[in-house]
Amino acid sequence: MGTSDLTLDAAPAAADVRLPAPPTQLIRPALFLDLDGVLAELADTPDAVVPEPRRTKVLRALAPRLNGRVAIISGRTIAEIDRIADGSMAAASGIHGLERRRPDGSLLRAEPDAGVRAAVEAFEDFARTRPGVLVEDKTIAAGLHFRGAPEAAADAAVLTRELADETGLTMQPGNMVIELKTPGASKGTALKAFMAEAPFAGATPVMLGDDLTDEHGFRAAAELGGFGVLVGPPRETAATFGLPDVASVLAWLEAVEETK
In the predicted model, what is the mean pLDDT of residues 228-254? 97
Cα–Cα distances in Å, from 65 out to 93, 177, 187, 197, 257? 21, 35, 24, 19, 8
Distances in whole angstroms, Cα of residue 104 to Cα of each of 35, 76, 91: 21, 20, 8
Instruction: State the pLDDT confidence band at 13, using cuts at 50, 70 and 90.
Output: low
Query: CA 186, CA 96: separation in Å to the nearest integer?
Result: 5
Higher pLDDT, 15 or 216: 216
Measure the N-to-C terminal CA separation of the chain; round to a whole number of Å: 49
The candidate with the shortest Cα–Cα distance to 91, out of 212, 196, 228, 233, is 196
Report pLDDT digits (tens) over 115-170: 999 999 999 999 999 999 999 999 999 999 999 999 999 999 999 999 999 999 99
d(C-alpha 104, C-alpha 26), whole Å:
25
**The listed CATH number (3.40.50.1580, 3.30.70.1020, 3.30.1490.20, 3.40.718.10) that belongs to domain 115-181:** 3.30.70.1020
The full set of domain ranges for the chain reads 25-106+185-259, 115-181
25-106+185-259 maps to CATH 3.40.950.10: no
Which of the following is catalytic: 9, 16, 34, 44? 34
Active site residue 9: no
Q: CB-hemisphere CA count at 13 Å for 143?
A: 19
Instruction: List, in sequence order, every residue forming a beta bridge with 228; answer none if it has no partner.
Output: 207
Q: What pLDDT is attached to residue 6?
A: 37
Q: Write down the pLDDT at residue 260.
A: 72
Partners of 100 in the beta sheet? 93, 108
